[in-house]
Structure 1
Amino acid sequence: MLSKLIAIASISSLARAHYFLQSPPSIGFDDVKLTETPCGGFDATDRSGGVTEWPVSGFPFSVITTHLDVIWTFKAALLSDVSNFIEIYPNVRQTGISEFCLPALPGVEAWIGQDAVFQVVQQAPDGYLYQCSAIKFVSGGPAPTGDCSNSTSVRASIIPGTGPRPPVQSSSTTTRRSTTTSISSTTSTIPDPEPTEEPNTESSTTPATTADSSTHAHEEITTTMEPTSMLTEEPTTVPTTHHSNDHTDIPTYTPTPSGSGSPTVSTNSTTTLPTAPPAYTGTASAGKSISLLTIFIAIVVCLL
């Protein structure tokens, strides 16, 4: 009733104001400072105006608003850590003006018995507007709705995908919310493996392609080297496995540019230098016989 009287007393200022928090009672109201976070220009730890016991099963939230189309965000923080507000209910879009009420806004069961601060944020055409209440979460509930009512012009709907899933009753529920967020993140990355698989497939076929090209190189060099008979042993090929770096283990012939000498062979192959042929004297003996015959013929010709 007291909050209703305060609202009525302030009706003249509401004509140019944004909204007035009726339930739970606000720590303080200054229309000029509503844009100041976290509590519209008031100290979040102020308990001088009293503390509202908030049953975790639900407590009525009620305001008088002058904006036709707004979004509400509902948060809470422990008194010992007022810099860390968490959402306790999904965002609500509200249209229409005058009285707006949610009959049972849930609390945080993990915080039962602890002093806390309730924060409501109105996203209005002229910015974010903040108000706070001094509260303590308690077991039981929901609390009586009292004068909780909505004007006939007011409509409200929950915005999907925002805030925790009501009601927030335990730390295990909070953990489950985190898990849901993680699953959502994994789903967003499902398309990522597709480009990853394609390189893997190419990588698995790389050894076959590399081995194939090595075989062609082997054949070409063997054909070139047949006239020289430089190689006396076949190169040894090391078996490979299907990995992206297999081609580095396959021995291959390295052609030598023309005019630079004998071709070379890479690792894992054996090259034997040719043995010098034995001395051949047949040609020298024949040359000596021919020289003696020539001298004999020359002497005969001279005598004639």
Structure 2
Amino acid sequence: MPAFNDSRYDPSAFILIGFPGLEAAHVWLAFPFFLMYLFALIGNSIILYIIRTEPSLHEPMYLFLAVLAALDILLSTSTMPKVLVLLWFGVTEISYNGCLVQMFLIHSLSAIESTVLLAMAFDRYTAICHPLRHSSILTNPRISWIVLVAVIRGSLFFTPLPLLIKRLPICGSRVLSHSYCVHQDVMKLACADTTPNIVYGLGAILIVMGVDVLLISVSYVQILRTVSRLSHRECLKAFNTCISHITAVLIFYTPLIGLSVVHRFGDRSSPTVHIAMGDIYLFLPPVLNPIVYGLLTKQKQDQWTHGFCR
């Protein structure tokens, strides 16, 4: 039996793919991805700048939004540059350790973002259901602790994923089915029992993202119960403050659930479906979140404009 550090079992690099069958168009396909990356960087940076410089936005919802914008920048930067290099210059290899680092960043940053969305839901619940206690519950020190817990939670739950991959011998093909490294994709290249990877990966997603979705749903059930007792005008005014957050939740969780289902139950589906779902999950939310919070939040447009002009 060859040793596990043999190149057949411990490869020095993995091979990333772009869009199978469209290799001749990779150079042109890179431009939309570049524009998405540029928009994500500029849009989220503007949000960070405005919230930092506009005192009227130093309230819990917008402080959490600033954290969300920073996470979107980090998530885009951990994946998009490698995708652009692949499409523009045909550099398909990513080192073994580089793949593991990227895998950790993608999963942990997604988990942190999920926790921040839960915190934003709790902020809306407190502001609508307990308005008199809102400022005393969500103080700045508590917001800092919530963000710290989100970072620790996401990091702790998804640090084992690269370690679980490290123990697996990789045989045969080194070709991944995406333009970046995710746990489910690398795991399929192993020639050993991947049951621990499957169980832990699914468990981590359910405990982190699953619990977050459940608690966000509970928060909005309580919000609906509260606003249903208000007058029609007050109900619209209260619920209008939640529209942007609900949209951001849908933008984040819908592709995530779709990608998880495709990876686990879509073995017979077209590779194009896997690639499309993965790209939508990683690259679309950082682009859409600045639009949702910056342009579509009509009641805050004056404050955004004032802060930007300052």
Normalised by the length of structure 2, the TM-score is 0.19
Which of these two proteins has the greater Rg computed from alpha carbons? 1
Higher relative strand content: 1
More helix by share: 2
Q: Give the structure, 1 or 2, with the largest relative contact order (CA under 8 Å, sep 6 or more).
A: 2
